[in-house]
Amino acid sequence: MPPSHPLTEWLSDFVGLIYPNLCICCSTNLMKGEQFVCSHCLYDLPKTGFYKETGNPVERMFWGRVMVEYAAANYFFKKGNRVQTVIHQIKYRGQKEMGEYFGKEMGKNLHPTSFSLVDMIAPVPLHPDKLKKRGYNQSEWIARGVCAELGKPLDNSTLVRHAAATTQTRKKRYERWENVELGFGLSDPESFAGKHILLIDDVITTGATLEACIRAAQCAENVKISVAALAVASS
């Protein structure tokens, strides 16, 4: 990559004085090379380490429900913590590029593990009405970052959402499952047939949404499914 022109750097610094680039977690000025979140806050985000553990809490969430090869989440999500700030910026504040950035951070952790054995990566889809309203699928942007690190293709068209579920926020576990049951399907089962698919979501709470996605994906012949989320809810 050619070096930046001095005038370009000067203009960038000048704009930064007027519209400072701030960390979304602590509001300090970002240094050169930092994106969205400062190095200190990035280091302090509560990491799970689950991608290194067989039988970790995310995997156990699906035991007795659906078959998954591997399952993990990168961070712990808790009301009021910095991960919630990150997720809300990605999901509700239009910061889709931030989703890709944190997807890359997750991909760096997944790369040296068995998750690198997948053939294809697919995001949990949004219903077309919600996609039109929001303008983007946050899980797809997270998946883009994971794809970049794992060197795997993205499939954002095979797994589709048929029913528009109501918000999951205040629902109990069984209500969440009812809310998404039979809400997903495959537009072309042959695209998943015989492949190992990594499903990507933003936050896992009870696993109901991913369970419904896995059940839909398993309609493809000889498919294997793994799941990874940017965060998992913790008490």
Question: Does pLDDT of 2 surpass 60?
Answer: no
Q: Which residues contact 195 (CB under 8 A, 6 or more apart)?
A: 119, 120, 220, 223, 224
Q: What angle do CA 73, 228, 169 make, to 5 degrees?
A: 70
Query: Are β-strands 159-161 and 184-186 bridged in parallel, bridged antiparallel, or unpaired?
Result: antiparallel
Q: Which residue has the tokens 């205040």?
A: 170
Question: Does pLDDT of 177 surpass 90?
Answer: no
* Whole-angstrom distance, CA of residue 12 vs CA of residue 14: 5
pTM of the entire structure?
Answer: 0.86
Question: Does pLDDT of 139 surpass 70?
Answer: yes
The answer to whether domain 46-233 has CATH 3.40.50.2020 is: yes
Cα dihedral across residues 220, 225, 228, 232: positive or negative = positive
First to last CA, the chain: 45
| Total number of residues shown for the chain | 235
**If pLDDT is split at 50, 70 and 90, which confidence band does 1 have?**
very low
Q: What angle do CA 119, 97, 35 make, to 5 degrees?
A: 110
Intervals of CATH 3.40.50.2020 along the chain: 46-233
SS3 32: coil
- Closest to 136 in 3D by CA, of 232, 202, 58: 202
Residue 73 near residue 228, CB atoms below 8 Å = yes
Q: Which residue has the tokens 């090379």?
A: 33
Partners of 120 in the β-ladder:
197
pLDDT in tens, 13-45: 544 445 579 999 999 999 989 999 999 999 999
**If pLDDT is split at 50, 70 and 90, which confidence band does 168 have?**
very low
Alpha helices in the chain (DSSP H): 6-18, 39-44, 57-62, 82-92, 96-110, 128-134, 138-150, 173-180, 208-217
pLDDT of residue 6: 62
pLDDT of residue 202: 98
* Whole-angstrom distance, CA of residue 200 vs CA of residue 149: 14
Partners of 225 in the β-ladder:
197
**Which amino acid, one-letter code, is at 21?**
N
